Amino acid sequence: MATQAVRPPAVAGLFYPSDSQTLTAQVQALLAHALPPTGLPVPKALIVPHAGYIYSGPIAASAYAQLAPLRSVIRRVILLGPSHRVSFEGMALPGCSAFATPLGNLELDSDAVFMIAQHPGVVFDDRAHAQEHALEVQLPFLQATLESFCILPITLGQVSPTLVAEVLETVWGGPETLILVSSDLSHYTPYSAAQRDDRICLDQILGLDQPLSHEQACGATGINALMLTARRHDLVPTLLDLRNSGDTAGDRSRVVGYAAVSFAPAQHRTH
């Protein structure tokens, strides 16, 4: 079967609105209500959740609100997220040239694709992207907060965080490149248990104490890779928001945990 030139949205109308005006209004409202800490340095990397916007949108917005000073600076976003629907080994690139959302198309960075295509563990697999939500739900937020940029979407299967970190090093770039790791935290536990478990997980992330397990975070592979590169590049993580679906959607019997974390160069931090 021939590869599609543009990957259509898979979860528009499910995880977020399919109507462009409604989607724009929801994203802008989430960003307007985000209250991230002030005085933080601009991020090089972010960890953001990937549930439906009514559940994790407010937490994700606290991360994307950090990008305001970088609106015209960032030209490339590297997206790492777990595979929820397809089991495979390695890091999957799509064969398409763009991802579509209700807000328009986002072109892939063909140069970056070429740069990493020969790395160990990198494969081309449209199946890993076709129905995957972890990266797609980030795109409307990026379209709302950045001016003009391309993307490098990588879905992670069974792969060593060390190999993923090597790919990150290859495309690390400068201020024009943002690294974005998509992950939720605890899954379907009672509210109090989620609060406890997610706090333990966040303490590990803030201490760059890897490895996390996939029971702690579904995107553990990407987070572990980011922690490895953060140590190499002297990045310091800062917690922006930590809540769960019991805080945002009401039901506290079985919740999913969400966190937003910013990684910025240590020497640029304010005190």
What are the residues whose beta carbons fall under 8 Å from the beta carbon of 192, sequence distance 6 or more?
none
Phi, psi of 152 (to 5 degrees): -130, 90
Contacts of 23 (CB under 8 A, 6+ apart): 12, 16, 17, 101, 102, 103, 140
User: Which of helix, strand or coil describes residue 87?
Assistant: coil
- Interatomic CA distance for residues 83 and 80, integer angstroms: 10
pLDDT at 268: 45
As averages over each run of 10 residues, the pLDDT of the chain (271 residues) reads 80 98 98 81 96 98 95 98 97 97 98 96 97 98 98 98 98 98 97 98 96 97 98 97 94 96 76 39
The answer to whether 100 touches 9, Cβ cutoff 8 Å, is yes
Looking at residue 50, its pLDDT comes to 98
At residue 267, the pLDDT reads 63
CA separation for the pair 149, 106 (Å, rounded): 8
Q: What architecture is domain 21-33+40-149+158-233+241-266?
A: 3-Layer(aba) Sandwich (3.40)
Q: Please report, for the chain, the start and end positions of each structural domain, with discontinuous segments joined by +.
A: 21-33+40-149+158-233+241-266
Please tell me the predicted confidence (pLDDT) of residue 1: 39
Residue 155 CA to residue 242 CA, distance in Å, equals: 24
The phi, psi pair for 93, rounded to 5°, reads -95, 150
According to the model, what pLDDT value does residue 256 have? 97
pLDDT of amino acid 4: 74
Tokens representing residue 222 in the block: 């990407």
